[in-house]
């Protein structure tokens, strides 16, 4: 997912001592002191170009404040190095996925994504993550929430942060996920087993929140689009960006960051997100003509750090916009053939597949398809720090 970073919309409770919370089944969850002593079941997985800690909802407190406080202890936040936790000192590696069986007919599991602040004590749920989504199906099989079905297993997933529905298809052998394979994705070394993802917003979620292909914010022409991730598309040339800049150079340009943030703050209310000054959405993506034979060149602000690649759902939003006349990027995109869009990013190219349709009333809609990989890194008990 897609990628995220602090500051974020929601924060943890102020509690720092041992406490109890009601678990998902109504039972009393063990105290923090017990969790510190005995540990909590956790699986660390790489999902796409991100990495995160995966938990069953039943292994965490159901009270959001108690849960968030515990996760900060586990990840080692706030600390720029996250030296006393399992976070990786970067927004792309300070993520949590919480999974449970779904009570919705036709859906196998529910997936809640939480972005853990690195150097700030923040836990955000305003967005989802399409990269960690790649690991949800295998995790559900690993934990026995969904049975493997022969050599290929399909898992239907409800994304609780956004309401989107995803379908994940992946290889299984002897009732377990198969992580070895020949699939390659830019931004991840080596090869792994392919995971096919389909994500759709449903009938109640239009692709363009304002209903317009473009809007004007702070003197800039922008496209506000949400194909699984709220995104603002900007013309790179208006900001002096040609699509060749390394992420570190863009991050170091305070004047550029300030201009982009002004647009982001103006976009929030138009996208139905309200005041986004404390949120990680919408993402801000500068578009430039393709440089490496793809459809478009991107530099994604998430929102203060610049993504070293691009999130799955960010790429899906870009790919959908390129197919809408009048949207930012439509006029500078390379040739689009079929439903696959090669989206260039700082570390390669992401082949995003989308199907874009228009209702009789003019409403644009999209479904995205992507090939990702994921891998189980470790499975065991994680021990939260006793106090923050």
Q: For residue 144, is it within any domain?
A: yes
Q: With cut-offs at 50, 70 and 90, classify the pLDDT of residue 28.
A: low
| Mean per-residue pLDDT over the chain, rounded | 90
Q: Are residues 252 and 171 in the same domain?
A: no
State if pTM tops 0.85.
Answer: no
Query: Hunting for tokens 């891998």 — which residue is that?
Result: 375
Rounded Cα distance, 9 and 120, in Å: 12
Given this model, what pLDDT does residue 387 score? 83
Cβ distance 72 to 12 under 8 Å? yes
Q: Are residues 228 and 247 in the same domain?
A: yes
Out of 211-215, 336-340, 355-359, least confident range: 336-340
Tell whether the model's pLDDT for residue 88 goes beyond 50: yes
Mean pLDDT along residues 56-80: 96
Mean pLDDT along residues 297-314: 92
Q: Are residues 222 and 107 in the same domain?
A: no
Rounded Cα distance, 180 and 178, in Å: 6
Q: Are residues 144 and 275 in the same domain?
A: no
Mean pLDDT along residues 299-309: 92
Q: Are residues 124 and 225 in the same domain?
A: no
* Residue 250 structural domain: 215-367
Q: What is the pLDDT of residues 180-202, one digit of tens each?
A: 999 999 889 999 999 999 998 76
Q: Are residues 182 and 238 in the same domain?
A: no
Q: For residue 203, is it within any domain?
A: no
- Number of compact structural domains in the chain: 2
Q: What is the pLDDT of residues 116-144, one digit of tens each?
A: 999 999 999 988 999 999 999 999 999 99
- CATH label of the domain that carries residue 315: 3.10.310.10
Tell whether the model's pLDDT for residue 17 goes beyond 60: no
Q: Are residues 327 and 258 in the same domain?
A: yes
Tell whether the model's pLDDT for residue 326 goes beyond 70: yes
Q: Name which residue leads in pLDDT, 126 or 174.
A: 174
Q: Are residues 344 and 236 in the same domain?
A: yes
């Amino acid at each position: 997912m897609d990628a995220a970073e602090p500051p974020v919309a929601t924060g943890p409770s102020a509690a720092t001592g041992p406490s109890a919370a009601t678990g998902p089944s109504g039972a009393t969850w063990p105290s923090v002191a017990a969790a510190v002593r005995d540990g909590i079941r956790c699986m660390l997985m790489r999902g796409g170009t991100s990495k995160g800690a995966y938990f069953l909802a039943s292994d965490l407190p159901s009270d959001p404040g108690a849960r968030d406080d515990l996760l900060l202890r586990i990840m080692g936040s706030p600390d720029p190095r996250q030296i006393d936790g399992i976070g990786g000192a970067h927004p792309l590696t300070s993520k949590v996925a919480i999974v449970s069986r779904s009570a919705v007919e036709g859906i196998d599991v529910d997936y809640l994504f939480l972005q853990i602040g690195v150097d700030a004590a923040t836990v955000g749920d305003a967005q989802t993550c399409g990269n960690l989504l790649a690991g949800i199906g295998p995790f559900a099989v690993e934990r026995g929430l969904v049975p493997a079905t022969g050599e290929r297993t399909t898992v239907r997933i409800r994304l609780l942060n956004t309401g989107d529905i995803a379908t994940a298809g992946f290889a299984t052998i002897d009732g377990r996920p198969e992580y070895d394979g020949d699939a390659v994705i830019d931004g991840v070394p080596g090869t792994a087993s392919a995971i096919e993802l389909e994500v759709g917003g449903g009938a109640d979620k239009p692709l363009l929140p304002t209903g317009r292909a473009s809007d004007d914010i702070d003197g800039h022409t922008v496209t506000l689009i949400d194909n699984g991730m709220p995104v603002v598309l900007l013309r790179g040339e208006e900001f002096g960006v040609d699509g060749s800049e390394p992420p570190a150079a863009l991050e170091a340009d305070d004047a550029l960051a300030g201009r982009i943030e002004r647009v982001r703050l103006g976009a929030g209310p138009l996208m139905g997100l309200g005041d986004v000054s404390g949120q990680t959405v919408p993402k801000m993506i500068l578009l430039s003509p393709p440089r490496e034979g793809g459809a478009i060149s991107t530099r994604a602000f998430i929102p203060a750090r610049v993504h070293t690649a691009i999130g799955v759902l960010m790429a899906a939003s870009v790919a959908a916009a390129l197919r809408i006349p009048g949207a930012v990027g439509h006029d500078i995109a390379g040739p689009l053939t079929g439903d696959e869009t090669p989206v260039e990013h700082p570390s390669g190219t992401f082949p995003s597949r989308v199907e874009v349709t228009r209702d009789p009333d003019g409403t644009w809609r999209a479904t995205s398809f992507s090939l990702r990989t994921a891998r189980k890194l470790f499975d065991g008990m994680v021990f939260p720090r006793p106090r923050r």
